Chain A
Amino acid sequence: MTEKSEFSTLLAGVGGQGLMLLSSVIGEACAMSGQRIITGEQHGLSQRSGSISVHLRIGPDVISPLIPIGSANAIISLEALETLRYIEYLQDDGIILMNSRIMHPITETSQVAKDKELSYFGLEEIEKRLSEVTENVLALDALALARQAGNPLTENIVLLGAVCAFEAFPIPMDKVRSAISQIVPEKAREANLTAFELGLKASHARFCDKFPCKNLE
């Protein structure tokens, strides 16, 4: 069975949040550490505030770009609603690492504007529903950390730092850092490297009692 020697992650988010860059960084880090990786990406319409996903599979025998239903080891989600939208890919008790940020879709705002009684679909409800699939729902305010890093567009790298804290994540941290330096344009490099460290530390501080983490030393 291939499943056991494989780490599959579904990346989810909203167009414009940098999912393709995140996928490139992880891919490059795999190339550097000699690990086989296959991704199934969604280009094309993806910059237009729509829902997007990337299937990312790491392991010596991976062959297909799409994660089978119910088989992802983790979902990394840059927007909370989008976590729920792809929940069928996660295996029971898989890891959910998500941004607590919600970007309200225009379809919902147009309803909320019309009806005074209506409120937006909220984080609490999302977390409640996700908990029916897994206990490992980890939410971080990636936007706050990204701002702290000096660039609100680095939410993607905050979450990459956060997932790197986990023992289960198969790519060595130093390779991920090198890949960030290589892929991210020079102007934004420093902010992205800071975002990575902030994500890593936040995750270590918040989730390590719940989830086996790597030693940061």
Chain B
Amino acid sequence: MGIDDIISEAPKTAFMLCNEAIVRAALESDIKVYAAYPGSPTAEIVDTFYALRHKLDMRIDISSNEKVALETVAGAAMAGLRGMTSMKSVGLNVASDTFYTLGYVGVKGGLVLVVADDPHAHSSQSEQDGRYFSPSAYIPMLEPSDPTDAARMVKYGFDLSEKFQTPVVLRTVTRVNHQSGLVRTGEMKRTPFQKVDWPHEPTRFVTVAESARNFKHHMLERSKAIMEEFENSELNTKSIGNSPDVGVITSSAGYNYAIEACRLLDVSPSVLKLGTTYPLPEKLIADFISPLKRVIVIEELSPYLERQVAAIAKEVNPGIEIIGKRSGHFSEALEYNANIVAKVFSQLFGVKTPRDYDAVISRAQKLKQGIPVRPPTFCPGCPHRGTFSALRKALKGVKHVFASDIGCYSMSALSPNFYGDSMLCMGASVGIAAGFFYSVNEKVIAMIGDSTFFHAGMPGLVNAVHNDVDFKLIILDNDVTAMTGQQPHPGTPLPEDEPGMKRVLLEDVVRGMGVEDVTIVDPYDVKNASDTMKEALSRLGLGVIISRRVCALHGDRLKRRSGERIIPNFVDKEVCKRIYACEKDFHCPAISIDEEDRRVIISRELCDGCMVCAKLCPIGAIKSTEGAK
């Protein structure tokens, strides 16, 4: 599915990533404002909207963080326009302050907030279960299981939002967002973008004292009314099986695994798929479990549904056996798969699984013994590799503690670098560094990426300036939000087609905050960068070192666009003396060792031609294939 297909007016059947289907459904719902900060597994929603920004009559922003993004669409929705934002699980932590109160005041125009959890922590720092936000904020939540389901729920979400004047959460998981399939799109008829006159209604969106208390009562009534609507919603489906005593309650990705497990074992319990998971349709659940002897709850992460099923069962069917996480059949950790569910079904229904999954896994473990691990690492040409190389040289012999942050540079903590003493969440390096400075004898180094600094690092630095905290903050300025797919951020050099925007320079920001000691280095020039860093690190007081060089992936894309070629390096074997200076503490995927002569070889296909390894080699054995630079 190409970008043009996503905005084609006529309905069609297309192979779409769920994140694309979500964008299409939002456009079919005639949204007027989209704002978001990229985060996996929702980054392709941002990318798809961003690619369409000059083709659509609507406002599309990549915001500096999720809170700002939610506030941007909330402002639009208060005025009566339809808005959407999307974020990863932990993004809602950042936006939660706005989220909770927005539940109180509500909206006028439809507002849909896509929140994607990441069971298995594929690309997140935790397996946070975001479903608990909705009940504590009294904000309705819908949970799709596949792209078609997600598209349908986005469209319904806008209607629901306007009907009850509340924001609506579309909660997904990685295996829903990153699932592709054939989707039948709907009719798309977009209306022109028009500003509205602000409808002055004092205190309509102001919550303080008495109005807060009133809003709370209103919110409780609203949730009750939404529950009524959900009791008869088509988003909740029930199929009656031929095992009259046994039922399955499931939602989200769990539904897919449950259905497949039923087919694998040829068993057919009744299945209740819940698409509306806050407020839960309690009567529907009560009716479903009343005649059962046993109910199996299939959901990833926490026993969110299971606990509520247990509470409902206590009233309507206290003798029912509830199979789930609390019974020990399923885990609260990691993502599921049909074979995990089938194994439990096998035990419960007394039917054999088509394969002995445990035996297959244990044979595979034996076969995989001794194969080298391949964790994600810095790309060939990545400027972070040069930064780390320079930094570790500059810090040689200096006892220090290293607070890292969220971004590509987090990978320094993985094999074979193993460098990083703390890493929590966006922006945390700066605050943690203050705590380290107060508590440890060693020198304190913090590291943060440009986008992460704009996102959540700035308050920590202001705090450090004000409180006379002494640490060195290294800001990696690679022009883009690299890890999620090289989206632009406030410090990105502006493309020619964005005349009204302004680039915010990191050095201006940190100087404006009151940091006096600001140093800028080029990580491709490792020797100079290292010397300059060493000097900066030896100075007393708070300092910022900006390591500036464009992300290699982004830079390569710009080069390709302008027709510039990438010229790889090679190793002159006559010169190479097996010192491995190019390999140690550098670890570029393009570099390996020739088993015949133990000299270094560089893969033409992988080399980005950054020349940094050539500079690390003390005897000049690495050269450019088109003459040394």
Task: Give the shortest distance, in Å, between A34 (CB) and chain B (any CB).
Answer: 8
Q: Is A143 an interface residue (CB 8 A)?
A: yes
Which B residues from 297 to 344 make CB contacts under 8 A with A?
A: 337-339, 342
- Cβ A103 vs Cβ B589 within 8 A: yes
Q: How does the 8 Å CB contact mask read for B355-382 relative to A, with 1 for contact and 0 for none? A: 1010011011001101111111111100
Please classify the interface of chain B as helix (H, G, I), strand (E, B), loop, or mixed, using the class held by over half of its residues: loop
Please pick, from B13, B368, B588, the residue contacting A87 in the complex, using a CB distance under 8 A: B368
Q: Is A203 an interface residue (CB 8 A)?
A: no
The verdict on A43 contacting B43 (CB below 8 Å), with A48-B377, A69-B360 known, is yes
- Cβ B179 vs Cβ A48 within 8 A: no
The verdict on A69 contacting B361 (CB below 8 Å), with A43-B43, A63-B256, A133-B367 known, is yes
The verdict on A41 contacting B179 (CB below 8 Å), with A3-B354, A47-B553, A68-B337 known, is yes
Cβ of A84: which chain B residues have Cβ within 8 Å of it?
Answer: 367-368, 371
The verdict on A107 contacting B375 (CB below 8 Å), with A31-B15, A45-B123, A112-B593 known, is yes
- Cβ A48 vs Cβ B15 within 8 A: no
Q: How far is the CA of A73 from the CA of B179 in the complex (A)?
A: 20
Q: Could you say which of A36, A41, A133 has the most chain B C-beta atoms within 10 Å of its C-beta? A: A41
Q: How far is the CA of A68 from the CA of B353 in the complex (A)?
A: 11
Cβ of A120: which chain B residues have Cβ within 8 Å of it?
Answer: 592-593, 595
- Cβ A14 vs Cβ B374 within 8 A: yes
The verdict on A109 contacting B592 (CB below 8 Å), with A48-B411, A50-B375, A61-B263 known, is yes
Question: Among A21-29, A189-197, A208-216, which stretch is in contact with chain B?
Answer: A21-29
Closest chain B residue to A24, Cβ basis? B15
Q: Is A30 an interface residue (CB 8 A)?
A: yes
- Cβ B178 vs Cβ A40 within 8 A: yes
Cβ of A170: which chain B residues have Cβ within 8 Å of it?
Answer: none
Please pick, from B182, B379, B483, B606, the residue contacting A103 in the complex, using a CB distance under 8 A: B606
Question: Among B283-291, B396-404, B579-587, which stretch is in contact with chain A?
Answer: B579-587
The verdict on A43 contacting B41 (CB below 8 Å), with A48-B379, A48-B408, A88-B364 known, is yes
- Cβ A152 vs Cβ B367 within 8 A: no
- Cβ B260 vs Cβ A2 within 8 A: yes
Q: Could you say which of A49, A51, A106 has the most chain B C-beta atoms within 10 Å of its C-beta? A: A106
Cβ of B587: which chain A residues have Cβ within 8 Å of it?
Answer: 106, 109-110
Cβ of B416: which chain A residues have Cβ within 8 Å of it?
Answer: 106-107, 110
- Cβ A49 vs Cβ B376 within 8 A: yes
Q: How does the 8 Å CB contact mask read for B591-629 relative to A, with 1 for contact and 0 for none? A: 111010010000111100000000000000000000000
Q: Is A85 an interface residue (CB 8 A)?
A: yes
Q: How many residues of A contact B (CB 8 A)?
A: 68
Q: Is A64 an interface residue (CB 8 A)?
A: yes
Q: Is B86 an interface residue (CB 8 A)?
A: no
Q: Is B465 an interface residue (CB 8 A)?
A: no
Q: Is B146 an interface residue (CB 8 A)?
A: yes
- Cβ A81 vs Cβ B374 within 8 A: yes
The verdict on A85 contacting B368 (CB below 8 Å), with A1-B263, A42-B178 known, is yes
- Cβ A68 vs Cβ B357 within 8 A: yes
Closest chain B residue to A119, Cβ basis? B595
- Cβ A71 vs Cβ B355 within 8 A: yes
Task: Give the shortest distance, in Å, between B352 (CB) and chain A (any CB).
Answer: 13
Please pick, from A2, A14, A113, A129, the residue contacting B367 in the complex, using a CB distance under 8 A: A129
Q: Could you say which of A31, A64, A111, A133 has the most chain B C-beta atoms within 10 Å of its C-beta? A: A64
Q: How far is the CA of A103 from the CA of B601 in the complex (A)?
A: 12
- Cβ B373 vs Cβ A105 within 8 A: yes
B residues lining the A interface (CB < 8 Å) = 1-2, 13-15, 17, 40-41, 43-44, 122-123, 146, 175, 178-182, 253, 256-257, 259-260, 263-264, 266, 337-339, 342, 354-355, 357, 360-361, 363-364, 367-368, 370-380, 408, 411, 415-416, 483-485, 553, 580, 583-584, 587-589, 591-593, 595, 598, 603-606
5 tightest CB-CB pairs across the interface, nearest first? A50-B376, A88-B364, A44-B40, A44-B123, A108-B372
Q: List 11 A-B contacts (CB under 8 A).
A: A14-B374, A44-B484, A49-B377, A64-B253, A65-B175, A66-B337, A68-B357, A103-B589, A109-B592, A113-B583, A132-B363
